[in-house]
Structure 1
Amino acid sequence: MGALDDLRVLDLTQVLAGPYCTMLLADMGADVVKVERPGGDLIRSNPPFVDDPESEAYGGYFQSVNRGKRSLELDFGDETDRAAFLDLVEHADIVVENYSAGTMEQFDLGYETLTERNSELIYSSIRGFGDPRTGETHRQGLPSFDLVAQALGGVMEITGPEDGPPTKVGPGIGDLFTAVLNAVGILGAVHHRDRTGEGQYVDTGMYDAMVSLCERTVYQYSYTGDAPTRQGNSHPTLFPYNAFETADGHVVVAAFGNAHWQTLCEAMDRPDLAAEYPDPESRLRHRESLRDTIADWTASRPTDGVLDALDGIPVAPVQTTADVFEDAHVRDREMLVPVEQPGADREVTIAGSPIKMTETPPEPGGRAPLLDEHRREILGESSGPDGDISGRSPEAGDD
């Protein structure tokens, strides 16, 4: 039993933000039907592949964020397919899409139309700049991807070396953080519906999400009038809180508290620094010279030596992905999940669910679907003897 196994989600999303959102719901037990346009999600053909893209059904990009879903290919320009979708909507709990604003309305499948068929429906959209229903702006309708969201929202301006150019964060946080917020909004709407019977529209914009993610820059600018910018791996108000090179790699050290600072100074055999800079304010004022002192000390030692010497301080090596795969913690936490790769002769690994629950633990539900793989069973459910395709068990409270 999953926490959300009484929910049916119609997933009209593609690429990353929307699929990641609905993947989170699927991991928690929701029945997620991926309704794909003719030809399928355009990211199906994106690499990497195990061996041969001609024989494999999809690449790693699609596999990673579409696990545990069922696939149905529909053409909304076709009246029969459109009618089939509306039949599904009548018994769905949630519809999620990440098309440009107005796309669903072109097929007369917008929020207002769908709620005429199902008044309790929760309709959720992920767009670059939000939907006019929740706040109209001049940017709506413009295309947006992760890079655009990171640039506009201030992420790039505060990321990178002090003397370097604005730099995007490696993972697609413009998509992923927006997706997580959207999932939270959906679950909030489900809770509201459970209490009132009322559905609603949930809207999460990528630009909005990046402003929220950069909350630190907002209050800093408000308080000081100075616009924050890049400062490498350091922290604007805490020291030491930085990455340092070792003889064979890098470590991060977060020893800004007085007790941790004293331990660091003892490890470096520099009790004088603990006495001279006993409080956070003094350390912050002299951060440049203190950083150089710490850097000289770490550079003369191997990573393991630094970690051993700083036992008890928040410190860690900077790991590669290969290191992550070898970390027993990651495997013990089931954060590396093997799944079938259709068309390949071996399994592949995708990231597991970071959401842990004691009674209803999320479980990645196997590989991503083949295009239109579940047409017969999904449409068969729609035309079943009682017409109920909600996927709910009788115990869930259905009449």
Structure 2
Amino acid sequence: MTARTGPLSDVRVLDLTQALAGPYCTMLLADLGADVIKIEPPAGDMSRGLGPFPADRKGCDYGGYFASVNRNKRSVVLDLKRDADRETFFRLVQTADAVVENAKSGVMDRTGVSYERLREIKPALVYAAIRGFGDPRTGASPYADWPAFDIVAQSMGGLVAVTGPQGGGGYKAGPAVGDIYPGTLAALGVVSAIHAARRTGQGQFLDVAMYDAILALSEMIVYTYSGAGVIREPGGNGTPVLCPFDIFPTRDGAVAIAAPGENHWKILCDAIGRLELVTDDRTCNVNRRVANADFVRGILSEWTKAHTTREIVDAIGGKVPVGPVNTAKDIFEDPHPRTRAMLVEVEQPGDNPPLVLAGCPIKLTGTPSGIYARAPRLGEHTEQVLADAGISIAHKEQS
């Protein structure tokens, strides 16, 4: 892609975020066409210093971490601790639909760019915050002043306690879902609030607590405890309510097989040469298979371990829900991500080859989303953005 064509092409967002949760939120908005202006301090977003790094470090002042979640954005350097730069920011606010930040509670207030101050400048402004434990404006938390990272949110929100091998103490998820899921929800909140502001003329404050987001993601643990007094524990690669619904070892890797329905179970039994299991009292319906899950898993494991992953996928693919456990190398070799624009080569500054990034999974036919620009160098668009807002560099220096 070479231009902003997404459905949010008439939206401007001022991005005060750093690290992952906030930048992921604004990345989604940018992929969907929003003009996202990343306001960075003179030292830049902390994630610029995280790898993997390109060979030409002088030509590119960021690594893969920053490149991934800051594509499609423009970078402006402003030191909001300085009166002149803060006034410049206020002028940019007049041109924006939303401001997004992910500092600890109270940081932006002390800097002089609180929601209340910005609302005075533009009543229709949407102000979004992503914090570990939320903001007092939407509900007090005893942890409001605590710092938080992905692993803390995963732990406190209940995800770790139900993830990992049976009988274990819990595992964090591999991807940083404690950042990425709150960021995703915040993007939805921003779009919803802008929709309301355009209808009413009034903006609003919204926030997403990382703890809250992971608790919502782990919703099953809430109703099972409330309704049955059951405290869910790590369940390995299966689930306590469906069977088979597991990861099974193969001769050269592992494969996911999900056949809880009776039709899929019959097809699977036929494929493994065990049609008698269709009527066996231990496996004749999903409830009996759940009650005898170890027996079912044992039979299927014997079959899967005798075959390669490819052989199993070829045997039941398209008939029974099945999929290989892919590594990144496997994903790069799979035709699906390429044809779906989920592996996108993006140019990098300096004398560096393109970097492949995960594409936007939200596909639209009329207003396509996607990656149209690489991540910006620090301050790369300062002059351009200020000029667009009618702020000359000379004015900025004098103000």
TM-score by length of 1: 0.94
Distance 1:297 1:199 in 2: 59
Instruction: State whether residues 362 and 369 of structure 2, in contact with CA within 8 Å, keep that contact through their aligned partners in structure 1.
Output: yes
- Paired with 1:343 and 1:375, the residues of 2 have a C-alpha distance of 19
Q: 5 Å matches for 1:147-186?
A: 147-186=151-190
Residue 53 of structure 1, CA deviation: 4.2
Quote the residue 1:396 is aligned against. none
Instruction: Verify: 1:306 aligned to 2:312, yes or no.
Output: yes
Q: 1:221 aligns with which of 220, 225, 243?
A: 225
% identical aligned pairs = 46
284, 298, 304: which one pairs with 1:278? 284
Partner of 1:379 in structure 2? 386
- What 5-or-longer segments of structure 2 have no aligned partner? 393-399
Task: Tell me if 1:204 matches 2:202.
Answer: no
Matched residue type, 1:38: P
- Tell me by how many angstroms 1:264 deviates: 1.1
Equivalent residue runs for 1:322-333 within 5 Å: 322-333=329-340
Contact 1:11 1:34 in 2 (8 A): yes
The structural deviation recorded for 1:223 is 1.9
Contact 1:66–1:369 (CA under 8 A) maintained in structure 2:
yes
Alignment of 1:335-354 (within 5 A): 335-354=342-361
Structure 1 residues 78-126: Cα deviation after superposition (integer angstroms, max 9, x where no partner): 1110110011111211000001110111122100000000000000000
- The structure 2 residue matched to 1:360, chosen from 333, 348, 367, is 367
1:248 aligned residue: 252
Find the partner of 1:369 among 363, 373, 376. 376
Contact 2:19/2:47 (<8 A) preserved: yes
Report whether the alignment pairs 1:144 with 2:148: yes
Q: CA deviation at 1:384?
A: 6.1
**Which amino acid in structure 2 is aligned with residue 77 of structure 1?**
K
How far the C-alpha of 1:165 sits from its partner, in A, is: 3.3
1:8 and 2:12 equivalent? yes
Give the Cα–Cα distance (whole angstroms) in 2 for the partners of residues 301 and 92 of structure 1.
57
Q: Deviations over 1:12-53 (max 9, x none)?
A: 000101111101111111111000012100110101013354
Q: Which amino acid letter does the alignment assign opposite residue 338 of structure 2? A: R
Residue 55 of structure 1 and its aligned partner are, at CA, apart by 5.2
Question: Secondary structure of 1:133's partner?
Answer: coil
Structural RMSD (CA): 1.3
- Cα deviation for residue 383 of structure 1 reads 2.0
1:18–1:179: 8 Å Cα contact kept in structure 2? yes
1:58 aligned residue: 62
CA offset at residue 191 of structure 1? 1.2
Letter in structure 2 aligned against 1:364:
I
One-letter code aligned to 2:380: E
Q: Give the AA of the match of 2:289.
A: R
Q: Which moved more, 1:337-346 or 1:293-302?
A: 337-346
- Counterpart secondary structure, 1:29: coil
CA displacement at 1:363 relative to structure 2: 2.0
Query: Greater shift after overlay, 299-308 or 182-191?
Result: 299-308
d(CA) in 1 for partners of 2:377, 2:58: 14
Matched letter for residue 194 of structure 1 = R
Note if contact 1:250-1:318 (Cα within 8 Å) is conserved in structure 2. yes
Unpaired runs of at least 5, structure 1: 386-399
- Is residue 60–residue 377 contact of structure 2 (8 Å, CA) maintained in 1? no
Greater Cα shift, 192-201 or 120-129: 192-201
Q: Deviations over 1:278-327 (max 9, x none)?
A: 21111111111111111011111111221222240001111110110111
1:88 matches 2:92: yes
Q: Distance in 2 between matches of 1:33 and 1:383?
A: 15
| TM-score, with structure 2 as normaliser | 0.94
Q: 2:55·2:352 contact (CA, 8 Å) conserved in 1? A: no
2:378 partner letter: L
TM-superposition CA deviations, 1:248-289 (whole Å, max 9, x none): 111110001001111111112112211012211111111111
| 3-state SS in 2 of match to 1:43 | helix
Q: Counterpart in 2 of 1:233?
A: 237
Work out the CA distance in 1 between the residues paired with 2:59 and 2:349. Answer: 8
Q: Distance in 2 between matches of 1:258 and 1:370?
A: 55
Alpha-carbon distance between aligned partners in 2 of 1:52 and 1:165, rounded to the nearest angstrom:
43
Q: Which amino acid aligns with 2:371?
A: P
Choose the corresponding residue for 2:322, options 304, 315, 322. 315
Residues in 2 aligned to 1:221 and 1:258: alpha-carbon distance in whole angstroms = 29
Question: Does the 8 Å CA contact 2:244/2:293 hold for their aligned counterparts?
Answer: yes
SS in 1 for 2:93: helix
**Residue 261, structure 1, aligned to residue 268, structure 2:** no
